[in-house]
Amino acid sequence: MTDLDILGTAVDISFVMLMLGVAFAFVRLIKGPSLPDRIVALDMMTILIVSFCGLYAIMADDTAFVDVAIVLALVGFLATVALARYVERRNGGNFPRPPATIPKPEDKP
């Protein structure tokens, strides 16, 4: 009947949305006010690139990119764990300064 390529069009639109998500996360990675913001942005970029590998496997009709997705998920998890441990160990693990919204205890001597 029609020669409208449903799957190809869907893959193209989804590539555009995925890359917009990666670009937004990259903006947060650049201007994140603190180090945990940047780690969150990196973690989400890894997850989005995993789904990019899945989309590329469909587009290129090649199952090898699913293996790339598995390895990328593994490496991204290890990187996130290492960076989180680094943030926690960086200042000894206890509050260096109180978080901004903690009310000051009024019965402090």
Partner 1 sequence: MIVEIIIAALILLGGFFCLVAGLGVLRLPDVLIRMHASTKAGTLGSGLILVAVAVYFADTATITRAAATILFLLITTPVAAHLIGRAAFRSGVPLWKTSMEPGVEEKLRR
| Residue 86 in tokens | 């680094």
By CB under 8 A, tell whether 34 contacts partner 1: yes
3-class secondary structure, 11: helix
By CB under 8 A, tell whether 75 contacts partner 1: no
Distance from C-alpha of 22 to C-alpha of 97, rounded to nearest angstrom: 33
- Least Å distance between CB 105 and partner 1? 5
By CB under 8 A, tell whether 51 contacts partner 1: yes
Contact 11/55 with Cβ under 8 angstroms?
A: yes
- Least Å distance between CB 46 and partner 1? 9
By CB under 8 A, tell whether 20 contacts partner 1: yes
By CB under 8 A, tell whether 60 contacts partner 1: no
Distance from C-alpha of 43 to C-alpha of 76, rounded to nearest angstrom: 7
